[in-house]
Chain A
């Protein structure tokens, strides 16, 4: 065993002399280029205590190893460096890069190896968890990817749960996420392209699509937009979403996000593009249209009648969450004639003694609920129970008993809140959550006329939206008959042999049309 000397960067210069005293190996001074590189990198990484520099002799040539201790897999590191510095008697000092490569193959096996040309790429490689080796006399610097792959275990999705269907979800490590999708689509056409976004964070962003199916125009547009991003930091796919969608000032999400690999895979097969961001367990799917936010993968895992019914429930819930409080305000303050007499009398009786106008009552309760909801998400888990008890008491009993609000208001608020949670994609529920308040205000000023005015404005706004050039309301406006198989009613899986037409995929046909299976003929038939 040759002596392996580890030198801390701070003490490196002092110890160079000791390296020289190595016994068997022909001593060679580190050349100027080696030293200057070391100097540059030490300067670049500054005071970071996890930046490591190891100097030693590799097959008789002086070499320096640079790496970030926190980014490198420690086990692999010990195994490889011990081999690297072990000197053999018959070792031939290598003179060319190829010789070094063949030498290193024995040590590093299949670890990804890269040649680096300039200082910039060297520091990038170190940051990405590579071991950078510089050897005296070789023109090129070589890096080995030895990233520490420590990550969270796969868990069940926390926001997009299903009863029947795959229970795995994306995690923060993008490589795992890619593998989760690849495991579902075993097809060489499935392509992942890498982008590095964020001037300072250098975040890896992958776009995944089916080559030959994806709409090339959308793909090009997406690449252009990703390349055009000029920000310093990206931490989550939410950042990317806001930077690439067609319109920022809208309540409606223009990219679908999912934490379910099966949903991502299904969308890719339909011709969409998945955007995976390192560090984010949510994948973005573009282009996304309005009706996508009412579909979940489970629709296809359940019997079709139930799937269709649940879609109907989702659309209904969206409308309930959107308009119930404002209709309540509008009808109670302007259109008492719309209610059946007995119902009106019952509401009047309940509201007797409530000191506020209906709109104040509604805003009071809605805002109270929003506060409770936010508190429910942010509070430490340990105090959760307390808040929910207090919240239920405040909203429910106490307010009604004190006569501040009427009982019917509690019903309105509860159904609104629950309906709002039905949205399968959380970001979409924010649309009904926010527009609701606009509707309440206009109902207070104009009654139902105002509600419908706002709804018309909302539909007009929806019509104006585009997601990567695809009209947001397609396939409803423009109406596409063939795509109705998967909008309000979920058709049998075997009947859906076309990809959504609105996506304009390169290959529109998914499979040959087949009929429903039927039982084999009976005996004697």
Chain B
């Protein structure tokens, strides 16, 4: 009994005494890192720039008009070493767990130097849910420096902005670390990333004054989507194509489509529900891909005087909508096939899942098959409602 008690006491004490407070950090000794930017270095491999926010400035009650964050960059060969070395400039312990955005410069991506992703995936503090973005045409570190009126810190702004974008229109492929690594490692899919750029003067964007203007001197905008071949950046697709890409990927939440109903007259369909299925197989040395889209939308504005009480009108509009969607999707796919020949849509993945035996034979040469694939797009579109009006006033307008 005595021995047992001693043993229990020892176990209990060792839990408290041997573990201890090794990772204890008081709030007043930490700075929250919200964003990282990776540029190509001159002496070292990379320049890592981080943004540590000043929490007091981000809180309306305590803000006193100073800079909302501090941005500092260091040059070196690996991100890990640089991230831990940041105290050459910062006074507080940096915590990376709240990092929202990783910005990679175009140059780094073009050289295919994305191997630092291993550190980001491995580190125990950094999460895998931050946005990964390409800085198109500007230095990645400059993106961090541009101030903004609401979130103040650029990475926080981008995080919120992209989230809203995905919810309202699409246009951001919403790539996180896991998606990236998955795309890099799977066959039959090439990675993509959203690309951002700075509209305006990056130098002026660094100041507090930038937050005080109705039209900021510089603002970070979502520009396009970057296409990769493995780790190398190969090109960009514009926002409409990006939206179509998301549509095919079945990641579309909501979007809005402008469809011609007469010459130079359009109606708007607000797409609120969508399901896309991709079927693919190899047939006589040719890949046949069928994209089946089922979309629900409501009519949210028409420039044609349409009598929206009648079923026929809806049917006509649905027909027009289907055609437009089909045309758009096909355009994007063909563009990627012809221009880049990179299977960013993951068609290869689908074929592998659905026609494994045949795919195995062409696995190493899939790019060729993708380029020459026969693409079919089937669209079923339904217009369910017409906003809070039925008949448009345009039908009653006095001539």
Instruction: List chain A positions with a Cβ less than 8 A from chain B.
Output: 332-334, 336-337, 341, 344-354, 357-358, 442, 444-447, 449-450, 453
Q: Please measure, in the bound complex, the distance between the C-alpha atom of A502 and the C-alpha atom of B375, giving whole angstroms.
A: 69
B156: Cβ under 8 A from any A Cβ: yes
B21 at the interface (CB under 8 A from A): yes
A349 in contact with B25 given A337-B125, A341-B100 (CB within 8 Å): no
Does A445 lie within 8 Å of B16, measured CB to CB?
yes
**Can you give 19 A-B contacts (C-beta < 8 A)?**
A333-B25, A333-B26, A334-B21, A336-B25, A336-B32, A336-B95, A337-B95, A337-B98, A341-B32, A341-B100, A344-B98, A348-B27, A348-B56, A349-B58, A351-B28, A352-B55, A354-B28, A444-B21, A445-B21
Could you tell me how many residues of chain B have their Cβ less than 8 Å away from some Cβ of chain A? 28
Quote the shortest CB–CB distance from B6 to chain A (angstroms): 18
> Are the C-beta atoms of B23 and A334 separated by less than 8 Å?
yes
Q: Complex Cα distance A159/B55, Å?
A: 46
**B62 in contact with A446 (CB, 8 Å):** no
For B127, list chain A residues within 8 Å (CB). Answer: 337
Residue from the set A349, A353, A444 with the largest chain B CB neighbour count within 10 Å: A349
From A337, A344, A348, A354, residue with most partner B Cβ within 10 Å:
A348
Per DSSP, are chain A's interface residues mostly helix, strand or loop, or mixed? helix
CA distance A447 to B24 in the complex (A): 8
Are A357 and B26 in contact, with the CB atoms below 8 A?
Answer: yes
A286 and B336 alpha carbons, distance in the complex (Å):
79
Cα–Cα distance between A261 and B226 once the two chains are bound (Å): 76
CB <8 Å contact, B19 and A345: no
B59 contacts the other chain (CB 8 A): yes
Name the A residues within 8 Å of B15 (CB-CB): 446, 453
**A330 CB → nearest B CB, Å:** 10
CB pair A344 B32 closer than 8 Å? yes
Per the bound structure, the CA–CA distance linking A281 and B133 in Å amounts to 72
Cα separation A111 to B95 with both chains bound (whole Å):
83
CA distance A110 to B19 in the complex (A): 75
A416 to B113, CA, bound (A): 52
Quick one: closest B residue to A340, CB to CB? B98
Chain A residue with minimal CB distance to B124? A337
Query: Complex: how many Å from CA A350 to CA B58?
Result: 11
Chain B interface (Cβ within 8 Å of chain A)?
Answer: 15-16, 19-21, 23-28, 30, 32, 34, 53, 55-56, 58-59, 61-62, 95, 97-98, 100, 125, 127, 156
CA distance A162 to B272 in the complex (A): 52
- Least Cβ–Cβ distance between B357 and chain A, in angstroms: 46
Contacts of A450 in B (CB 8 A): 16
Q: Which residues of A contact B125 (CB under 8 A)?
A: 337
With both beta carbons as reference points, the residue of chain B lying nearest to A336 in the complex is identified as: B95
**How long is the Cα–Cα vector from A195 to B58 in the complex, in angstroms?**
70
**8 Å CB contact of B16 from A336, A348, A358, A442:** A442
Not counting A332-B26, A346-B59, A446-B16, a sample of 13 additional A-B residue pairs whose C-beta atoms are within 8 angstroms of each other reads A333-B26, A341-B32, A341-B156, A348-B56, A349-B61, A349-B62, A351-B28, A357-B26, A442-B16, A444-B21, A446-B21, A447-B24, A453-B15
Inter-subunit contact A345/B53 (CB<8 Å): yes
Write out the residue numbers on chain A whose beta carbons fall within 8 Å of the beta carbon of B27. Answer: 332-333, 336, 347-348, 351, 358
How far, in angstroms, from A489 to B61 measured CA to CA in the complex? 43
Distance in Å from the Cβ of A353 to the closest Cβ of chain B? Answer: 8
Kindly list chain B residues whose C-beta atoms are within 8 Å of the C-beta of A344.
32, 55, 98
Asked if B58 contacts A345 (CB within 8 A), the reply is yes
A183 to B25, CA, bound (A): 63
The answer, among B19, B21, B59, for a CB contact under 8 Å with A349, is B59
The 8 A-B pairs at the shortest CB distance, nearest first, are namely: A337-B97, A348-B55, A349-B59, A349-B55, A345-B55, A349-B56, A341-B98, A349-B62
Question: Are A348 and B32 touching (Cβ within 8 A)?
Answer: yes
Whether A334 and B24, one on each chain, are in contact in the complex, defined by CB atoms closer than 8 angstroms, is yes
Chain A contacts for B95, CB-based, 8 A: 336-337
Expressed in whole angstroms, the Cα–Cα distance for A217 and B61 within the complex equals 65
Decide: A341 and B34 in contact? CB cutoff 8 A: yes
Inter-subunit contact B55/A445 (CB<8 Å): no
Kindly list chain B residues whose C-beta atoms are within 8 Å of the C-beta of A446: 15-16, 19-21
For the complex formed, measure the closest distance between the CB of A329 and the CB atoms of chain B, giving whole angstroms.
10
Give complex CA distance A95, B21 in Å. Answer: 90
Q: Which residue of A lies closest to B19 (CB)?
A: A446
Assembly CA distance A449 to B16 (angstroms): 10
For the complex, what is the distance from the CA of A447 to the CA of B20, rounded to whole Å? Answer: 9
The answer for the CA separation of A482 and B16 in the assembled complex, in Å, is: 41
Residues of B near A337 (CB, < 8 A) are 95, 97-98, 125, 127
- What is the CA–CA distance of A214 and B232 in the complex, to the nearest angstrom? 80
Q: Which residues of B contact A445 (CB under 8 A)?
A: 16, 20-21
A435 to chain B, nearest CB (A): 16
Closest to A355 in B: B28
Residue of B at shortest CB range from A349?
Answer: B59
Q: Output the least CB separation between B66 and chain A (Å).
A: 12
Shortest CB-to-CB span from B32 to chain A, Å, is 6
Residues of A within 8 A of B28 (CB): 348, 351-354
Chain B hits for A353, CB < 8 A: 28
Answer whether A346 and B55 are a contact pair too, CB < 8 Å, given A332-B27, A352-B28.
yes
Provide the residues of chain B in CB contact with A349, threshold 8 Å.
55-56, 58-59, 61-62
Determine the residue in chain A with the shortest Cβ distance to B30.
A336
How far apart are the CA atoms of A341 and B20 in the complex, in Å? 26
Which A residues are CB-close (under 8 A) to B55? 344-346, 348-349, 352
Return the chain A residue nearest B96 by Cβ. Answer: A337
Bound form: Cα–Cα A350–B97 in Å: 20
Chain B hits for A351, CB < 8 A:
27-28
In the complex, chain B residues whose CB is within 8 Å of the CB of A345: 32, 53, 55, 58-59
CA distance in complex: A332, B95 (Å): 13
Question: How far, in angstroms, from A348 to B16 measured CA to CA in the complex?
Answer: 28
- How many angstroms between the C-alpha atoms of A54 and B365 in the bound complex? 124
Measured between alpha carbons, how far is A350 from B23 in the docked complex, in Å?
Answer: 22
Alpha-carbon distance A332/B23, docked complex (angstroms): 12
Q: How far is the CA of A513 from the CA of B21 in the complex (A)?
A: 58
- Nearest residue, chain A, Cβ from B15: A453
CB-based contact A333/B59 at 8 Å: no
Q: Could you tell me the distance between the alpha carbons of A358 and B97 in the complex, rounded to whole angstroms?
A: 20
CB distance from B155 to the nearest CB of A (A): 10
Q: Which residues of B contact A346 (CB under 8 A)?
A: 55, 59
Alpha-carbon separation in the docked complex, A353 to B28 (Å): 8
Bound CA span A444–B25, Å: 11
* Residues of A with C-beta under 8 A to B53: 345
Distance (whole angstroms) from the CB of A327 to the closest CB of chain B: 14
A350 to B60, CA, bound (A): 11
Closest Cβ of chain A to B233, distance in Å, is 29
Residues of B within 8 A of A449 (CB): 19
Contacts of B98 in A (CB 8 A): 336-337, 341, 344
Residues of A within 8 A of B20 (CB): 445-446
- Closest chain-B Cβ to A457's Cβ sits at a distance in Å of 8
